[in-house]
Amino acid sequence: MALAYLSHPDCQLHDMGHHHPERPARLGAINDRLLATGLDMALHHYNAPLVRRELLEAVHDPAYVERLFGIAPEEGLVWIDDDTAMAQHTLQAALRAAGAAVLAVDLVMEGKASKAFCGVRPPGHHAEKGSAMGFCFFNNIAVAAYHALHSHGLQRVAIVDFDVHHGNGTEDIVANDERVLFCSTFQHPFYPHTGHACTAGNVVNVPLPAGTDGAGFRQAVEQSWLPRLEAFAPQLVLVSAGFDGHQADYMAQLNLVDDDYAWVTRRLCEQADRSADGRLVSSLEGGYELHSLARSVEAHLKAFFGEA
């Protein structure tokens, strides 16, 4: 099975400041772990292209896209909210991050890879139709979903999000679109304080209280996600892969471990094997403690090979 790994050096140039948790060292830690374990040699590497602007405008308001292009600074930082800023290389990195998700969809749809992982930043799942927030500028996974629907003629695409923070941007974009099933778990109450009251029929939100461990997470997946995924029978599975629910991560209060990420990845692969000819694309979202992030990504990728 060919596993594609998509990234680009531009994704490490985006820098919101030395003390910001969403920092270039995140990708460096992942890359070092893949090299140290030898997993890097099993991956088919691709450079992430710049996403085409019309693909961004398929999910984001054109005026919002124009605004981000317009305010991208040549030096210094332009703060969009209290924790989200554009620097000199941010726009380029964000275009690569969305472009990686698009190319990953093309690779699995064309049979050049069975599964793909986008090791990119900035993340995307908090980016709404018309606003950036939560370290996110373009919604990478939503761009991938609508590219699959529009360019590859799919009728059913699933997006699964196990980041510790609710993917409010993804929900904002896909809610009530019956072609997309959005399943998420997240700590609640917690930033961005959304997801607990959504009534859209194509959204399966499972709020988890602080302190939830792997057993509670797995029960939520088994009871809420898996039956809906089976009934929906997606032709492509997309994953917003956030690893900040790890017990070692200082950004939240869930108690997941590496094996929990391996377990949920295998469940999603099994669904992809049943309904999507194995096609699955995963894109990095959160995860801020470098050691647990790198190990969790390792577990995630090994599960693609059936090693979990």
- Active-site residues, by number, are 126
Return the amino acid letter for 196: H
The sign of the torsion formed by the CA atoms of 242, 301, 103, 173 equals: negative
CB 272 within 8 A of CB 279: yes
The pairing of strands 78-81 and 157-161 is unpaired
Which element (helix H / strand E) includes 99? helix 90-109
Give the other-Cβ count within 10 Å of 147's Cβ. 25
CA gap 185, 191 in Å, rounded: 13
Pull the structure tokens for residue 193.
């304080």
Torsions phi, psi for 193 (to 5 deg): 60, 40
Give the other-Cβ count within 10 Å of 152's Cβ. 16
The sign of the torsion formed by the CA atoms of 223, 263, 162, 108 equals: negative
CA gap 216, 256 in Å, rounded: 9
CA gap 135, 46 in Å, rounded: 24
